[in-house]
Amino acid sequence: MSLSVPTSGQCSNDAASPPYRTAAERVYRIPGLLENIVSFLHRQRDYLNLALASKEGFAIPASEFYRSTRREILVKSFQRGCDPGVRELSLPSANFSCSVRPPLELQKLLGQHPRLREISIYWCTYIGQETAQNSQLYSSGHQSVEVHGLSLKGHLQHDQRWFVEGPYQIDDDAQIKWNGCLSLHTDQLPQREAVRTIDEILGHLASTVGNAVSPWSILRDLHSPTVTISLGKLESLLRGCPGLATLSCVLSRSGETATYMETLSELLRGPGANLTKLVCKAKGADLCMFARHLAICPLLSVTGTLDWNPHRGVAVPSPIDGAKVVHLFLSIQMPRGWLDSVPGPLDVARYLRRSVLPGSQITIIDSLSEYGGDHQKLWKTTLRMTLETLEDDDKRGKAQAEDAAQPV
């Protein structure tokens, strides 16, 4: 019994498939490969060239022409019943200005664009088009779409139904579901409304019982730079939103300082373990102390007052357990009479470097201050240069230790 082995370039269905005439034909016979190639392209010119290389592979690159586009560009395609393969669609805000909870024909849009994944609502300003950084997640069957851009101010600040029903009035269609809020910015709201918004979210998280899932539990970005969040509220937020990755808020020390700081670190090590970026204004305690206890977050930005009194006569600290900050940004505000109460930049730089792991980067951000003038600028410039020198020393020490560990 003999077996016939196909030679190179042949396949078992050669009789059914014509031989490859070009390299493009060979690629286009493998749809998965072609889709992978197309994913690396971004210019319409490249899509066109790839689509025209061979008729067998025209459809896949051609479907990318309108991957991200505005609705008015597609009017003719709609009229002809075509699906241009839109994944990202931009809509003007004209239809979203006259209602407390503006309407959104989401079912119609999903019907017109089966591949739709993102909708961005924009409005025109003197500097161009802008989109508010608020994002919602909706779903219809197995299809999900993120909707970006609705401004809270003027639309939703007076209508509390959106905390439960979502910010848009969707067509009366049971297939459309508001899954929740992905990103929320309250800095566009008046202070009182911003505080009330955070309290409403925490109240809804707390009121969800049993197997019910709060639409706020999927929140991943919360920007409330003017809202003070207590330790209790912070714990409720981190436990209720386990996927929260970015947080901006005000942290104000209450009670005994050491206890407050230890609790803050425990929250970041525990329910806040997924937090990757924290931007906060620190009040009620020294800026450096806040920075050390918050250094568990990989990307950390702290604004606060430098109060050196708690550090006088105290040994320079070491990083707290779980410290993993990669980049620490500090915006230092000096207290009144700081020239008599704040030590030289070298002492502060040593404290900061010892508060984080070797290799962590520290950047001093310029900030406006009522006091200090040129003296304060000089002090901060010296601090910046001293930190860079200490950072270079850490790198050299680490390199020498690694070289010494190498076998001879």
Where are the alpha helices (H) located in 122-230, listed in sequence order?
Answer: 162-165, 191-207
* Torsions phi, psi for 303 (to 5 deg): -115, 130
Three-state DSSP at 145 gives strand
Least confident of 123-127, 163-167, 217-221: 123-127
Torsion of CA 188, 192, 197, 200, to 10 degrees: 180
pLDDT in tens, 175-196: 888 899 999 998 878 888 889 8
Mean pLDDT of 276-304: 95
**Does residue 44 or residue 213 have the better pLDDT?**
213
Which range is least confidently modeled, 41-45, 210-214, 249-253, 292-296?
41-45
pLDDT at 102: 76
- Structure confidence at residue 229 (pLDDT): 96
Residues 114-135 have a mean pLDDT of 70
Q: Give me the pLDDT at residue 31, please.
A: 63
pLDDT of residue 4: 39
Regarding predicted confidence, which is higher, 173 or 387?
387
Q: Are 62 and 72 in contact (CB under 8 A)?
A: no
**What's the pLDDT score for residue 26?**
72
Span 206-215, mean pLDDT? Answer: 78
Each residue's pLDDT tens digit, 226-253: 999 999 999 999 999 999 999 999 999 9
Taking the CA atoms of residue 113, residue 118, residue 121 and residue 122 in that order, the dihedral angle to the nearest 10 degrees is: -110
Q: What's the rounded mean pLDDT across residues 128-135?
A: 66
CB-based burial of residue 121 (10 Å sphere; 0-12 exposed, 13-18 middle, 19+ buried)?
buried
What pLDDT score does 166 carry?
Answer: 80
Q: What is the pLDDT of residue 3?
A: 37
Q: Would you say how long the chain is, in residues? A: 408
Higher pLDDT pick, 200 / 23: 200
The top-scoring range by mean pLDDT among 21-30, 208-217, 268-277, 382-391 is 268-277
From the number of C-beta atoms within 10 Å of its C-beta (0-12, 13-18, 19+), residue 122 rates as: middle
296 vs 207, 224, 269, 276, 310, CA distance in Å?
30, 20, 7, 9, 22
- What pLDDT sits at residue 367? 66
Greatest mean pLDDT among 88-97, 108-117, 273-282, 376-385 lies in 273-282
State how far the alpha carbon of 132 is from the alpha carbons of 72, 96, 135, 161, 218, in Å. Answer: 20, 13, 9, 20, 19
Q: Report the chain's mean pLDDT, rounded to a whole number.
A: 79
Q: Residue 171 in contact with residue 108, Cβ under 8 Å? A: yes
Partners of 247 in beta bridges: 222, 278
**More reliable by pLDDT, 59 or 203:** 203
| Beta carbons of 367 and 330 less than 8 angstroms apart | no
Strands (E), 39-117: 68-70, 88-92, 103-104
**Does pLDDT of 199 surpass 80?**
yes
The Cα–Cα gap between 84 and 47 comes to 13
What does the DSSP assignment read for 359-378? T-EEEEEP---SS-THHHHH
pLDDT in tens, 385-398: 999 998 888 777 77
Q: Is 73 within 8 Å of 94 (Cβ atoms)?
A: no
pLDDT number for residue 404: 75
